[in-house]
Amino acid sequence: MKTTILITGGAGFIGSHVVRLFVTKYPGCRIVNLDKLTYAGNLANLRDIEKNSNYEFVKGDICDAGLVQQLFEKHDFGGVIHLAAESHVDRSISNPMEFVNTNVIGTVTLLNAAKQHWKASLAAVLKGRLFYHISTDEVYGTLGKAGKFKETTAYDPHSPYSASKASSDHFVRAYYDTFGLPVVISNCSNNYGSYHFPEKLIPLAINNIKNNKPVPVYGKGENIRDWLFVEDHAKAIDVIFHKGKIGDTYNIGGNNEWKNIDLINLLCRIMDQKLGRVKGESAKLITFVKDRAGHDLRYAIDSSKLQRKLKWKPSLKFEQGLERTVDWYLSNEEWLTNVTSGEYKKYYELQYVAR
């Protein structure tokens, strides 16, 4: 193997797409997937590549300093792609400490391991090693009707989730400035696509519409998000990992701004068509609920730096990506049933113990 790359959170939504891309695109590289397998971590997401010779799964917590150090010593990682994180804003409001532990302490634990393992190497040897930290546009706060987040936008987080991610970003930059650790950071907009745990807006709505359950929409549905197809995000991560400038930050956006209510109405129309329902039937399920505390009004990403310098751009318009996403969920009802019931977890826990 040319090198070994550690991907944290590789059993999650975005992480599984990144793991799949790297395992299949770079057969000469070994990919080690470290995941705690919380409620959102699902090894069923990686069934198609789990037996590949250049792939290894390790069940573990990024806060476990002993385990992380052990893995660095065993594999001599040439790079780290750090995706493991608690990411659901509602959960961060009910349990902020869980987000502090995973997103802040976990990130610093990984940074320390990289620093300690790579410190014995001279600068010349460090060349080629990289700690790549994946973050969110929510660290920037909220926007008015105009403007977009740039890499230079000041941080202004409004939820425990975004505050924990902002803190982790600051630690990554501090390790670059203080210790010379080779790092790069990317901040992405809202992702959507296959294998998304159905607590987030789009998979939740698809599942509820399919089962004729209420589709909750916060407030009046006026909040605006920039939506990024997850496979496009994985490709951007690939480009940044291999071509990004050490110490730089790159924003990744889909250039797809939608009001939540307009998104849900579009989704209802697609679901009516796919399920053979009367036009407008699914829209009757829309239920407005009390707005979330600290709910940012608008996010929009300016990804021109990434497009200009590294030649990446999103491949799909939102309508195309959303229809592909709906098709995937309707064709993978077993996955959706198992992930919501916890059945997949029982199976993979037994498989893991059996090894």
Catalytic positions are: 137-138, 161
Show the tokens assigned to 216.
Answer: 């909750």
- Please name the residues in contact with 47: beta carbons below 8 A apart, sequence gap of 6 or more: none
What 8-state DSSP symbol labels residue 301? B
Which amino acid makes up residue 148?
A: K
Distance separating alpha carbons of residues 266 and 35, to the nearest angstrom: 34
**Quick count: other Cβ atoms within 10 Å of Cβ 349?**
13
**Quick count: other Cβ atoms within 10 Å of Cβ 55?**
22
Q: What are residue 288's DSSP bridge partners?
A: 217
Show the tokens assigned to 176.
Answer: 């670059």
The answer to whether residues 59 and 36 touch, using CB atoms and an 8 Å cutoff, is yes
Q: At what angle do helices 65-75 and 106-118 cross, to 10 degrees?
A: 40
Distance separating alpha carbons of residues 184 and 218, to the nearest angstrom: 34
C-alpha of 28 from chain center: 25
- Terminal-to-terminal C-alpha distance of the chain: 23
The answer to whether residues 168 and 102 touch, using CB atoms and an 8 Å cutoff, is no
